[in-house]
Amino acid sequence: MDDGYSLLDSTMYALITRLGSHKRQIAAGLERLGLRLGQEVYLAQLWRQDGLCQGELAGCAKVSAANVTQVLRGLEKQGLVVRRRDDADARVQRVWLTEAGRALQKPVTEVWHDAEVAWLAGLTPAQRKAITSLV
């Protein structure tokens, strides 16, 4: 491909560059709460619907079951979730928030909200509307 295209001039590169500092802001905020970037996505799914099975969590997060298992081990070790066999089907493991996991909902949401507000503040109303229409 030699049509003058440069990844440095691409829309994707511009978005990644603009979002990079906000991703770091989120990561730093989560670290202050004892979390690693990515763990909050699983917690957020459980805040929405507690007691999901691991397969449902994988589907919601659009990741592999192996990825879910690894993250859940970390969340369990931190005392934020517990896994228990389903009463109706012992082959299924469900994931439940602990009180400590529930207690993180507000501070984690604030971290994400603050980063989003900061990012959107740098955009014009037309740009915000265009982004909103994409999601």
What's at 50, amino acid-wise?
D
pLDDT score for 28: 96
- Rounded-to-integer distance, Cα 80 and Cα 76, Å: 6
Alpha helical stretches, state H, the chain: 11-32, 39-48, 54-61, 65-77, 99-103, 105-121, 125-134
Domains and CATH numbers, the chain: 38-134 (1.10.10.10)
- pLDDT block averages, 10 residues each, the chain of length 135: 80 84 93 96 95 92 88 96 90 94 97 92 89 82
Model confidence, pTM: 0.84
Query: Quick one: pLDDT at residue 12?
Result: 84
